[in-house]
Structure 1
Amino acid sequence: MLKLFRVLPAFGLGLTLLLTACDPSQVYEKNVDFDNYTWSVRQKPAFTFDIADTTQRYDVYFNIRNASAYGYYNLYLKHTLTDPANKQVSQLLHQMILMDPQTGEPRGKGTGDIYDHQFLALRNQQFHQIGTYKIVLEQYMRQAQLPGLMAVGVRVSKAKAATP
């Protein structure tokens, strides 16, 4: 039974990737799993993606997977985005609400006690150079180890055109 619970998150992630592979607006998506379902302050996952069209605007999302055992209703996460010349484009601190602060009910999509969230972090981002960009994510909570956080990821997709 315990083995089944270890396989289910991988199956869910695989299914998610399969379903998003059909999305023509998606440019990039990758998730990184944490050992022992704990995000250490020393772990700073880095994601690299290529931009070929500088006239297009993009939306950048952060993916978070947590277990219901995660001890907080929110997550502070800092991103650092660098361009192909390794020059910093942006650095922001984001607060993501994973559970309702009053009821404790989990937000996001879930199966059992595992919940997936996708937060729009950078809306209508314009990349001024063609090439490979890098985004580094850091957990920015007051605790060095965050048990219950299973994975983090980045999704980049073409922004939808504004409707008049």
Structure 2
Amino acid sequence: MHRLFYFLALTTLLSSCGPTTIYEQDKPLPEAGWAYQDSARFDFAIPATEQAYDLVLKLEHGTAFPYQNFYVKLHTGFPSGKRTTEEVSLQLAGDFGAWLGDCNSEVCEQEITILRNAKFAEAGAYYLTLEQFSREPVLGAIGSVGLAVRETID
């Protein structure tokens, strides 16, 4: 009986460890491929300016994806109405071609932290729009994109 109590206490303690996710959403992409016009918008709220957050892009791609990396444009909207845009390279494979994500024989899932330990100047509603910005007008083998906003653990 005592072992059961300790096991439950340990399970509860371990499950409470780790970052708190305040937002997470995945968006499937068309089977025909991710075209320039197929942007993915994620609307999230930052509740506290004193808390630091990590913004994590989530990607699902086929193991037949032909590139080591590809570029995206990130458009960020702030509660004040300000908007920023930046180009980011998303690295999917290492220097010798091995996929960096969690893969099986057909699909890889990968998380890429695009902003680490960030404190936001304003609490409120934000959005991040993600659009593919590669050499290909339609980028095949990308199944879904997602965004997670997690509280940073000190």
TM-score in terms of structure 2 length = 0.82
2 CA distance for matches of 1:112 and 1:23?
29
Q: Deviations over 1:64-120 (max 9, x none)?
A: 1100121111121121111123212x4322112212343x22220022210011011
Q: What value does the CA root-mean-square deviation take over the aligned residues?
A: 1.7
Which of 131, 134, 154 aligns to 2:127? It is 134
In the alignment, structure 2 segments of 5+ residues that lack a partner are: 1-16
Which of 130, 147, 158 aligns to 2:140? It is 147
**1:59 and 1:156 in contact (8 A); partners too:** yes
**1:62 and 1:120 in contact (8 A); partners too:** yes
Report the identity percentage.
Answer: 26
In the alignment, structure 1 segments of 5+ residues that lack a partner are: 1-21
TM-score in terms of structure 1 length = 0.78
Instruction: Call closer, same or farther: CA 1:40–1:51 in 2, change over 3 Å.
Output: same
Q: Which residue in 2 is equivalent to 1:121?
A: 114
Structure that is richer in helix per residue: 1
Q: Deviations over 1:14-33 (max 9, x none)?
A: xxxxxxxx965111111110
Determine helix, strand or coil for the equivalent of 1:36.
coil
2 CA distance for matches of 1:33 and 1:159?
27
Paired residues in the alignment total 138
Q: Which residue in 2 is equivalent to 1:94?
A: 88
Q: Report deviation, 1:42.
A: 0.7
